[in-house]
Structure 1
Amino acid sequence: MKTPINIRKITHEEFMNLKHGDIVFIRLDHTYQGTVTRPAFYNYDADVPDWEVETTNGYCDEHSLYVYA
């Protein structure tokens, strides 16, 4: 999928308010579109515990998520 040019970094408030079915973009080495399958939760089991959401592309923290601008 080609990366949309009209995306921006998600804000903390938007991240905390994500819900099942919301569309997000995960930017790692490429940009991937994903759908939220589990809203924000504190992941104690992560290498570095932090708030994350579960998407169709795995678990993501807010630092790698983007939304439509």
Structure 2
Amino acid sequence: MKSLSLFCAAIIGVLSVAGCADSAMSKLSDKELRKRHAMCRTGANLSAPEIQVCKNIARECERRAEKDNWAC
């Protein structure tokens, strides 16, 4: 039962971070976004929260590319 509670808490935490991460990513400079994107591409054995952050970074790269800002 304790592991189920921890699992639920982890899922809620990841979803909370995922929801507000896009606005945080939009505030990153191109240089910082490029740096984080490179770390995601070369990262191995990423945890679930790290994978979600990398997905948010990729989404921000795509958003900027749509505006002809090829930061990544």
* Bigger proportion of residues as helix: 2
Same fold (TM over 0.5): no
TM-score range, shorter-chain basis?
under 0.3
TM-score by length of 2: 0.25
TM-score by length of 1: 0.26
Give the number of the structure whose alpha-carbon radius of gyration is greater: 2
